[in-house]
Each structure stands twice: as structure tokens, then as C-alpha cells.
Structure 1
């Protein structure tokens, strides 16, 4: 059994909360094991004044951490799975996915209890193209403005009056004990979440089989199957975390149901489709859903965003 485990993590409050949660679980399971956090600044952390969609590229919040894994500076990496690109570097894999937190988006405002209460022209802050498109479809009369920064920074900007409301992931609020700030959570029918939103994954070197076995007690079957479907869908659409697409899978018994969405940023049309099948076919269900949406017109929408063709 490995006596010391070094966790590579971003230095944001949320990333540290997630990594400390994993640290606590390992130490509780293996009291004789020492777990250390190694803080790593990523490109996405350095660029705080430009919408991520304009920065381009994938892996803005994981690349430097993966490099530390490959160079053996750290033993594992803890990620918000919605930030992890569909393709990983050779030699690395997401070995463990823990039980999913609330995957939905939360509405936070100081004056309004709901999106419906907001007056025409009110300002909503988000830099997510996925959220922008769905908000524009729900309330085309609102002003949607870019909002960057860590979770605590975004809340501060709201409190300073720069926005009338902001949209954040409910999972992040829960993990920082800030869910009381949320006025309500959107239902999936209103605001489909990002692929793997609410799920935390542990990335390891493929060669570290003993370490994977040691940490396997944290793996959650239902979340793992849902995230597999969502990430196969993401891979087929060549998407990162900042493109106008969404995907959400759930399990009921042994049946997996997944809903996908592709939309132009202005929300002028939302392409949605649903696929279901045996949970064992999770990867295939995600791929089939992606193909269906591409055929419905999603290919043209994404090619315009990417500035390149999709096979």
C-alpha cells in the first residue's frame, strides 16, 4: 500500500474543497497513509478577464496538472469532471469517479426569487456559452453579460451590484456550504447541465494499478456509467467545457437515459434529443445521441463555433 499520496489540484477554493474531501476519505480509509495537496496554477486560472470561449483550446483547467502527473510530481489529480477534455494524454486515465453532487445550475440573485421575476433588460452574469444559449431561449429580453472568476469572486461581483443575477453550478455551492445563496435550481428541462457537471474524478497514470485498486473504494457505479455516456457524447462532438452543448444522463434500474442539446449562442433554436438503453451500453448511447444531434443541424452550429469541420 502506498504510504504517501500527493494530490495535484488547482488552488481555487472549490478545487481545494474537493481535493480536501478526497484527502479526508483516503485518510479515513487508510489512517497510516499521508496525503498531501500540491497546488498547481493552470492556464484557465491565469486568464481571468477574458471569456473562456474566446481563449480557445481544451484542458484550460487541467493541462498543467496532467503534466505534473506525467512527470511524477504528483500521484493523482482531482478534477471537476466538467473541466476535463474528452481526450486525455497518453499514459493517463480517469480511474475513479465519485458520487455525483447536484448536477443542476443554480439561480442566484439579491432582489429576485426566480428568472420569471426579473424585469426586461435585467442583467444575468455567465460566461458559459451553454448557459447563455439556454437563458436567451428562456428570456430573450434579458441582458446576458460575461462573468469570470472563481466561485467566491462571482458571488462578490453579484453582491457589488454588477449583475442582477448570476448562474452557477449547484454542486460548487454545495461543496463550499454556500447553497443557501441559491434562490432556486433549474430543472433539466429548462437548463440542461454541462457534461459531467457535479461529478469529481480522480486521474492517475495507467501504470499505477496498485494505487487505482487502493482508491477504488471511492468509485460510484451509477455516476461512472452516466459520466461515461456523457463523455462519449462530448468526444464525438469534439467539445470542451466552453461550447454551446449540454448532455445529461440518468440511471433508473438498469436503464440509462440521456438528453443532449446543441444550440447557437443566441438561443434562437435549441436542438434536443433523447436516447435510452441498457446501462452497459452507456458509451454507445452517448455516441448515438451525438450522431442524432449532428444530423438534426448540430454539425452546422458547432462548425460555426469551432471554425472547422466536424467529421
Structure 2
């Protein structure tokens, strides 16, 4: 994780340290410059403003006068945001996991890596290829199913996604599966269609599998920065998101977006992708992430 966050760390810390190196006293201009540095590091306008507001208050309250102490305070503030509402993901058996997100964010790869993880933990996993709008999505999921030696339920391209979920549930029940992971289409250009499709899928799960624990994971691509936050807001309106997976963190300097996502959405970050390898999808741990983000070696 330390290596995976290298670009983001340089972007956030570099910007902050550039500002702090210029100032010897704590004043309004310093706070304004720090706010700009955070915005440029993809922490987002709203979140950057609220972090700086907290910093001003705490610096005044604690009578902080030296710049280095302000940096410590900033690190504590960001760590607090990352830790907020952190709770482990407990998947009871049986569980259904819907994986949503636009095309290209690494959704199918994430499902493959999650399948590998849960299978290694001894869970019996079944996959459902409910992203029926792209033949490539079905084929890609089948490759992952074969690689992980798990069953996949699929229909023809352009068939009804809810029908695939229906058959997936039947298969999960008959095979006594612990976990059914469903790939879904990620189309944002028509939010109404997306919402209707997800509602239909929810109805099928509630009717056919009421005993199953439900998780809805939204996959976001960290390299898209602020765009990922916008996607998350739209999906949150359309779906009952229970967790977020942030992919491609190792390839970007825009990983600061995770701070904005945590602060503005109040949805837990469940997994982060910090590399290409199958085990580079890691459960999100706020303490570890924060230390890696600020260059504190474990």
C-alpha cells in the first residue's frame, strides 16, 4: 500500500509542504494557500473548505503558533475523516453482492479479485453476469469464473438483467453457495434507466432471496479524481450503496479523492486497488491508509 500511494502522497504532501515552507507565521493567507493545495490534490472544494475550517478552529483553540504543529493537526484531521464510520464488512451466509459502476472502472476485474479472496476464505461463490449490454462483459466475467473455478450464470447479450439475477439466485440456492456476486451494467447517460433496472433487480432479490444479506458495492476509478465523486453521487441517488471500492490508486496522484468520498457521501470504503496482481485488492483500513498517505512507515 505504501508504494501504491506514492503518487498521491507526493501530490498531497508535496502541495502542503510547499505552502508550509513559505510561511513562518500562521495567518489567513496560510490557511487560504493550504486550502488551495488541498483542492489541487483532488480532495475537493467542499471537503477542503471543511478541513481548513476545522484547522482554523483547532489552531486557535490550542493556541498553535508554529507551522510544523499545523501539519500534524492537518494529518490528524484527514485521518479522522478516513476513520469516520469505519466498520468491517461481515458477510453472513448466504449473501448477495451487487457490484455497480460505469464501464472501464475495473468492475469485472474487481469481481474476479473478490471471488478469489472469498474463495480462499473457504466461501462457495457463484457469479451472475447481469451486465448483459456488452458481450465483452459476459466473456470477461466468464474468464474470471474459470480462473477461480467457480460457477457462472449467464444469458445472451441484451437479455433482461433481472432474469439473470433470478437464475443466479436459483443456482446459489441449489448449490448451497455462501455468496452470489452479480455484475451489473454501468450506464450513467440515462439515470432513469439505471434506476429502473436496479429497482427491478432489488425486487427480484427481495422476493426470491429474502434470507440473503445484501451488499451493494460501487466501483470507482481513482484516476478520474473529481469525476469519481460525481459518479458516486449519481449512483447513490439510484442505489442503496453499502460500500465503495476504489481501484487504480497505484496509477494516480488523485487518490486524495478518497477523502472527499468519505467526507461527502458517508458510505464506507470497503476495498482499495493498489496494483494489478490478484491480491492487490485490499480491505480498506483507515489507520494503515492514513499512515501510508502521509509517509509514516509501519
TM-score (norm 1): 0.26
Report the structure, 1 or 2, having the larger strand content: 1
Higher relative contact order (CA 8 A, sep 6+): 2
Structure ranking higher in helix proportion? 2
